[in-house]
Chains A and B, each alone.
Chain A
Amino acid sequence: MPLTLEIITGERRLLRQEDVDEVVAPGSLGELGILPNHAPLVTSLAPGELRVKIGNGVEEYFISGGFLEVHSDEVTVLADAAEHGSEIDAERAEEARQRALQRLDQATDADRARAQAALSRSLQRLRVLEHRRRRGGGGREMARPTG
Chain B
Amino acid sequence: MANTREIRRRIRSVENTAKITNAIQLVAASKMRRAQDRALQARPYAEKMQSVLGHLSSVAGDPDTAHPLLERREINETTVILITPDRGLCGGLIANLERHTGEIVLGPEAGGSGELSMIPVGRKGGDYFQRFGINFRASFQELGDYPGLAETQPISRIAIDDYTEGRVDQVLLVYASFINTVTQVPVTVPILPVEAPASADDDGSGESQYIFEPSPQEVLADLLPRYVDLLIYQAVLEAAASEQSARMVAMRNATDAANDMISDLTLVYNKARQEQITSELLDITGGVEALKD
Contact B214 A11 (CB under 8 A): no
Contact count band on A: 20 to 34
Q: Which stretch (B91-99, B130-138, B216-224) binds chain A?
A: B216-224
Which of B42, B56, B209, B222 sits near A40, CB closer than 8 Å? B209
A9 interface contact, C-beta 8 A: yes
Chain B proximity of A58: nearest CB distance (Å): 24
With contacts A27-B213, A39-B211 taken as known, whether A10 is within 8 angstroms of B219 at the C-beta atoms is no
- Tell me whether A78 and B41 are in contact in the complex, defined as CB-CB below 8 angstroms, given that A41-B211, A42-B211, A67-B222 are known contacts: no
Chain B's closest residue to A72 (CB) is B207
Once bound together, how far apart are the Cα atoms of A126 and B267, in whole Å?
72
Stretch at the interface among B43-51, B74-82, B108-116, B238-246: B43-51
Nearest CB in chain A: distance from B219 CB, A? 5
Decide if B163 is an interface residue (CB 8 Å cutoff).
Answer: no
**What is the minimal beta-carbon distance from A94 to any residue of chain B, in angstroms?**
21
Complex: A19 Cα to B58 Cα, angstroms:
32
Bound complex: CA of A9 vs CA of B42, how far in Å?
8
Tally chain B residues at the interface, Cβ within 8 Å. Answer: 28
User: Does B149 sit within 8 A of A, measured CB to CB?
Assistant: yes
Asked if A42 contacts B42 (CB within 8 A), the reply is: no
- B41 adjacent to A42 (CB under 8 Å): no
Report B115 CB to chain A, min CB distance, Å: 28
Q: Within the complex, what minimum Cβ distance (angstroms) separates B3 from chain A?
A: 58
Specify which chain A residues have a CB less than 8 angstroms from the CB of B128 in the assembled complex: none
How many angstroms between the C-alpha atoms of A98 and B211 in the bound complex?
38
Q: What's the minimum C-beta distance from B170 to chain A, rounded to whole angstroms?
A: 25
Q: Which residues of B contact A69 (CB under 8 A)?
A: 48, 52
Is there an interface contact between B42 and A10, defined as CB atoms closer than 8 Å? yes
B196-231: contact bitstring with A at CB < 8 Å (1 yes, 0 no)? 000000000001111111100011001100100110
Q: Does B31 interact with chain A (Cβ within 8 Å)?
A: no
Question: Bound complex: CA of A147 vs CA of B37, how far in Å?
Answer: 12
A8 to chain B: which residues have CB within 8 Å? 44-45, 48
Q: CB-nearest residue of chain A relative to B210?
A: A40
Does B178 interact with chain A (Cβ within 8 Å)?
no
Q: How long is the Cα–Cα vector from A39 to B148 in the complex, in angstroms?
A: 35
Known: A10-B149, A11-B148. A43 touches B213 (CB 8 A): yes
**Inter-chain contact B41/A40, CB cutoff 8 Å:** no
Q: Mark B26-45, 1 if CB is under 8 A from A, else 0.
A: 00000000000010011011
Given contacts A11-B41, A13-B41, 19 further A-B contacts (CB under 8 A): A8-B45, A8-B48, A9-B45, A10-B149, A10-B229, A10-B230, A12-B41, A40-B209, A41-B212, A41-B213, A43-B214, A44-B213, A44-B214, A44-B219, A67-B52, A67-B222, A69-B48, A78-B48, A80-B226
Which 7 residue pairs are nearest across A and B when measured between Cβ atoms?
Answer: A43-B213, A44-B222, A40-B210, A41-B211, A8-B45, A10-B149, A10-B45
